[in-house]
Structure 1
Amino acid sequence: MDYRRITSIDDPLFEKMHRLMGEIFPPEEVLEYELWREPLEDPRIRVFVAVHEGEVVGATEYRYYPDWNIAMTDFTIIGRHGLGIGRFLARKREKDLHELAQAGGKELYGMFAEIYDPYERDDHDFGGVMPMHPYVRREVLSHLGYKRLDLAYVHPSWKNDGEAVEGLDFCFMPTDETVQDVPASLVADFLTTYYTVLPNKPQQWLDMMEGIRSKDRIGLLPL
């Protein structure tokens, strides 16, 4: 299995990856094809695919923010079972991020991720691929060390229609497992930057952000 980076929508592997995204994720979680052009050309955004026998069988997008020394996992896709794709992507991503942090003389502080809460919303089958089922993914991410932030979370729809997407937890995986909370200012600044690309923010998101900025720190709770 090969770990291949995609930096252009003109890469034939991107079409295969985008098709796989549409099979796995609900529409509000998938950015339109042409709107990927600029993000893929951004050196801070790292999109890699797992290629097996010429086909894209998995993918992950993540980014590293050197000023905050944190990362964000945008998504991970496992397109088939029985190939070890999840571990393959996780280990390759971890190695890449630690190398990016070390290049700046730092140890990675941790990584954010949005994680589906199947106990609140369980109405999507993720293309029928069982490793992608929310219950499975949640337990896998818990094993990796992710913890949920102590807040009621929503995010703007990637359709940019001003709707709020619910049914997820905002989580953080600290490199130091003894970390029990994170600065609220880091969470607020990160989310503001991350969702700058979507100008149509729902009121629920604005209210959430106001609540975050009113705090000093936000606790990390078990998944």
Structure 2
Amino acid sequence: MEYTRITNVADPLFRQVHQLLSEVFPPEEVLEYSLWKEPLEDPGIRVFAAVHEGAVVGTTEYRYYADWNVAMTDFTIIGREGLGVGRFLAQRRLKDLQKLAADNGGELFGMFAEIYDPYRVEHGFGGIKPMDPFVRREVLSHLGYKRIGFPYVHPSWQGDGEAVSGLDLCFMPGNEDLEEVGAPLVADFLTRYYAVLEDKPEAWTSMVEQLRSRDRLALLPL
């Protein structure tokens, strides 16, 4: 299996990646195909495909923020069972991020991720069994992700200003004994991460303002 970076919408592999995105996630979570041109060319956004016998069998997108020494996992998709795609992507991603952190003169502090809560919202994830939200949530817990203790919403990626709920913002600390994370870091991260979306819902703006009034946030079990 190959871990192949995609940096151009014209890459034939990206058509397969976007098809996986469209099958797995609801429309409000998927950026329209043509709008991927700039993100793919952005050196800070890393999109990789797991390629097996010429076909995309999984994909992940993530970002590294050197000034905070943290990362964000935008998505991880397992497209075919029985190949160990999930572990392959997680291991390769972590090695890449550890190298980026080392080149930046430190160790990775941790990684954010938005994780569906299937106990609140039902979603079929395209009928792909390894992407079942109950299974996915438990696997991410095993990887070390913890739920950040505050009610979370995010702006829709359709750019319509709607608030999307049913997810938790989570954090996988580099030090697994870490029990809290700074609220200002979370607020600053969310502000930068969603800066690309001009139309923000009031619920999101209010949430970020409340975060800025707090000091620490608990890291809770998933």
User: Which TM class, normalised by the smaller chain length?
Assistant: over 0.9
Q: Distance in 1 between matches of 2:148 and 2:181?
A: 9
State the Cα deviation string for residues 33-66 of structure 1 (Å, max 9, x = none).
Answer: 1110001111010000001111111000001000
Q: Which runs of 5+ in 2 are unaligned?
A: none
Q: Distance in 2 between matches of 1:137 and 1:164?
A: 23
**Letter matched to residue 146 of structure 2:** K
Q: Which runs of 5+ in 1 are unaligned?
A: none
Q: Distance in 2 between matches of 1:51 and 1:160?
A: 31
The number of residue pairs the alignment matches comes to 222
Aligned-residue CA RMSD (Å): 0.6
State the Cα deviation string for residues 167-213 of structure 1 (Å, max 9, x = none).
Answer: 00000000101111111110000000000010110111011111111
Secondary structure at the aligned position of 1:47 is classed as: strand
Q: TM-score, normalised by structure 2?
A: 0.99
- Runs of 4+ aligned residues of structure 1 deviating over 4 Å after TM superposition are none
Secondary structure at the aligned position of 1:57 is classed as: strand
Q: Distance in 2 between matches of 1:15 and 1:178?
A: 40
- What are the within-5 Å matches in structure 2 for residues 194-209 of structure 1? 194-209=193-208
Secondary structure at the aligned position of 1:107 is classed as: coil
State the Cα deviation string for residues 82-127 of structure 1 (Å, max 9, x = none).
Answer: 11000000000000000000011101000000000001101x2111
**Letter matched to residue 74 of structure 1:** D
**Letter matched to residue 159 of structure 1:** Q
Q: Distance in 1 between matches of 2:208 and 2:188?
A: 10
Q: CA deviation at 1:165?
A: 0.6
- What are the within-5 Å matches in structure 2 for residues 27-46 of structure 1? 27-46=27-46
Identity percentage of aligned residues: 68
Question: Which residue is equivalent to 2:187?
Answer: 188
Question: Which residue is equivalent to 2:105?
Answer: 105
Asked if 1:128 corresponds to 2:139, the answer is no
**Letter matched to residue 99 of structure 1:** K
Q: Distance in 2 between matches of 1:52 and 1:112?
A: 28
- What are the within-5 Å matches in structure 2 for residues 11-26 of structure 1? 11-26=11-26
Q: Distance in 1 between matches of 2:60 and 2:106?
A: 23
Asked if 1:75 corresponds to 2:75, the answer is yes
Secondary structure at the aligned position of 1:106 is classed as: coil
Question: Which residue is equivalent to 2:55?
Answer: 55
